[in-house]
A and B are shown apart, each in its own frame.
Chain A
């Protein structure tokens, strides 16, 4: 750990709350870097793959995320 991170400890924010905001909220201003990713949906997919086995949740709930 660097000196900097000791001086500025991160707050304990739940990952799902963090992702909802930094990838699901805020403002997009057009840059000239265009990413070939679907943004938040792909990230949520990745989170599910990581978190689902730990929480042992019904797969139907997993697949139902954000379908609205």
Chain B
């Protein structure tokens, strides 16, 4: 058999009952490697194609990276449907199962703490965009004199900045309202238009750690917010459930504000 390397997707409690896994990266078979009270979800990848050299060579090669990232996520998403799983960040490679066991033991306390943190919860994402209509509104009629022009322009500017401030305040309220239904919540940097392919300005890029039993209520609230007249000029989008990528791995519980 060709030389292989261990890819680890995520970590669960060793006694966690799991259903059959979807195929791993490169259609490899996914299984569980236990170490003490923890278990890593793994598959063996050919070094030729997925080793360290490939990662170094392909770090900016989306054609290579995207299928790896998608399959990593799909395996985690599947496990997260029924179990608490700590997702591992890519690249997540180990020379052999012995070195993975060592890594699990070394990080045992952190992993067990994260498992407790996300037990019975999943991550939802809510994004709020400023719609195109809202961005182009508040333009006055053409001025007829220089003085008119200056007055109109000054009024336009202050109307725009006040409208912008109102939108920002509304977005803060939305984030807080969703946070009230969440165990933890975090406001990430807005994604930029190049990567998202979206022309509208992103005003909120929020992640919410929601109890499994609270998901229906959470989604109901998202719907209410999207339908509310006070969110005119805003479009609200929800995605999930995600494995808890935003609520694992940091030393402290997530906070609510990020700089924008």
Contacts and interface: CB of A to CB of B under 8 A. Distances in A.
* Binding partners A and B: yes
Interface of A: 2, 4-5, 7-8, 10-11, 13-33, 35-39, 42-52, 54-55, 57, 61-62, 64-66, 68
A45 B55 CA distance: 15
A11 B77 contact: yes
27 contacts: A4-B27, A10-B70, A11-B74, A14-B196, A16-B196, A17-B191, A18-B70, A19-B195, A25-B248, A26-B87, A26-B89, A26-B245, A27-B114, A29-B106, A31-B92, A31-B99, A32-B94, A35-B56, A37-B55, A42-B59, A46-B60, A47-B195, A48-B194, A48-B195, A50-B62, A57-B194, A61-B192
Place the interface of chain B in its size category: 35 or more
B154 to A, nearest CB: 27
A23 B245 CA distance: 9
B239 A2 contact: no
A10 B94 CA distance: 25
A46 to B, nearest CB: 3
Nearest to B92: A31
Interface string B26-56: 0100000000000000000000000010011
A51 B88 contact: no
Given A8-B23, A17-B125, A55-B193, A27 B89 contact: yes
Given A27-B114, A31-B94, A33-B94, A21 B73 contact: yes
Interface in B82-120: 86-95, 99-100, 102-104, 106-107, 110-111, 114
B242 interface: yes
B195 A27 contact: no
Contacts of B248: 25-27
A39 B78 CA distance: 25
Contact of B194 (A11, A55, A68): A55
B86 A27 contact: yes
Contact of A29 (B61, B73, B78, B111): B111
Contacts of A49: 60
A51 B144 CA distance: 44
A61 B245 CA distance: 26
B211 interface: no
B2 interface: no
A6 to B, nearest CB: 10
A42 B60 contact: yes
B107 A29 contact: yes
Nearest to B106: A30
A66 B189 contact: yes
Shortest Cβ-Cβ A-B pairs, 9 listed:
A46-B60, A25-B245, A8-B22, A21-B245, A4-B23, A27-B249, A26-B89, A26-B87, A29-B107
